[in-house]
Structure 1
Amino acid sequence: MQNRKEYLKQLLQQKEWKQEDRDWLLQYLNENDLTDLKDAASAAYEADLQSTDPVLEREHSARILEQIHQRISLPKGAVVRSMWFSRWKVAAAAIIILVAGAGILSLFRKPVKQLLVTAEKQRKTFTLPDGTIVYLEPGTTIQYATSYGKEERNVTLTGEALFKVEKDDAHPFIVASSLISTRVLGTSFNMEVRNSSEAKVVVLNGMVQVEAKGEENQQGKELILTANKSAVYNKDTHLLEMSDATDDARFYSQKQQGRFVYDGEELIKVVNDLQRYYNAEIRLDKRIQHCAFYGDVNIVDDLEKALDLIAVSLNAKINKDKNGNGYMIAGGNCQ
């Protein structure tokens, strides 16, 4: 017998099988190690994705499954006493047969995922098929099925994103992550899961249900959040805690709108916003930390333009670090 993996590959390319082919496959499926089958099926699956041949419609699946039984000579109700097959082994055989024919059935094909990715210094706005708007922060990945919105609205998040969810009472919107799961019907919220130990959700408006995925006593614990509230889950302490998040909600809301508006805010809060958005270090002279600031910062402007606006309003100076990693707002006075 030739190399087993090559033989499986050859079977995938054959339209018809001989009796010895069927016997060999049945014997192979009864083995514990099906690594070669998985590799061959995976390669065939990827090739099928690139094919221009149409995938068979689901309504034809019943007839084709009948043909599968005929190909491997398994009549309905037959009891094979010499071998025992678990359901997944039979399914694996079915996949191979279907690949060898007209393509992989939708019934057996793994759901194809859509992937949204932002680079480390990139922000992106994306609209999901149901109209939900997603604002992705740098270094973020979101996955969702191509069937999104038809039966369910599920996405998986790594990183940070703000979701403006289109209301749909029949299909809750669910954001899954490694630490928490968030479920809503229609609202705006920000969710951040940037490491393996902590996750945070901030609600801008509406209502959100947050569920912890901890392994110990907090597993399954839920919190219901309303506007201006946040939930933080810590995997190390296994605690899911709710707190006021008025400042965070304001920050996310204004960031979504594209402009930070300040009407007498203390300068230290303004600087904190700029550090968060531009991911830069900004130091502030203690004498002007509590000065009131009036002005708007457009998020399309670069950081130095925003800092110049502050400097002019307070008669201060902006000094850039020699290493270029941060800024210092020095001098000036509260007017």
Structure 2
Amino acid sequence: MRERIIYLIQQYYNNRSTREELEELMNIIQTGEQDGEIDKLMQGFYEEIKHDVSAEKKQTKRMLQPAISAEKNDYNKPSVVIMRLWPVAACLCLAIASATFFLLSDHTKQGSEMAVVKKFTDKAEHKYLLLSDSTQVWLNASSTIDYPETFGKDKREVYLKGEAFFEVKNAAESPFIIHTGTVTTIVLGTSFNVKAYEGQEHVTVSVKSGKVQVLKQNKLISTLTKGQETKVSKMNGPDENEEVNNDLVGAWQQGYLSYEEVRFADIISDMERVYNVDITIRNEQLKGVLVITAFSRDIGVKRALEILCKLTAAKLEEKGGQYFID
């Protein structure tokens, strides 16, 4: 077994791993049975490449494909069951993993004025929303969304801070518009994910089906279709378009945390929101390291952090319910 682990780690650090080898390494790490041996080997390889100038780029990208055992169709299973118990929409709470989705429907008439609905989530909380046009929204942790109680005929507009997955009801005469600061996403009928947390460098739009237009400061910068993603800089940095695994778009709904070349610091921010914990990165150099990985939320924050730290040769310390990474 030791020889096999050495081989897998060598392939990993030299960016020569096949998908099967990457998944095998992830499975070994997740079991925890070889933790001591892996720690020694990973640290040894890390020390070797740390002094190798030609390996500098390899230290900033840790390429590891998701080792998810679920079948492809698992991502398409409905995460919420909606039941009509009364003529008025009911509120149904379902426990899913460690989070809960809520079906919320407000029906308060306020004369001729259009009422604005504001919904938000705390850390470790999700909400399911059914809008007046039958558009479905899954709101991720630490997020806020504002929308009118009833949409007008010409357009449907919402304002988002944080992350949400949308399944927009098709209406060619009434575009659906999501405002996230200076970035605007326009659709007619499709399913897609928008991630726009404060403190992160980009607004990320990923399309699962249909077509989406993305604007920055009212200027069209990208038109996306199924399996495509754009990362729009909130400042003056470059915008990035790329192909993505369509099965992983909005996978957080089913309890999977998936990352493709995401900054270590941004992943840690997600961990804090998802698990409602405090995590401090004491090694500043780690913050910019790019990571590609995925794991189930059910493994818990400690195991998730252990995996991330192994991939980046970092050290994890737990003290008083808080986590510190060096």
TM-score interval, normalised by the smaller of the two chains: 0.3 to 0.5
Larger Rg, first or second structure (1 or 2): 1
When normalised by structure 1's length, the TM-score is: 0.46
Q: Which has the higher contact order (CA 8 A, sep 6+)?
A: 2
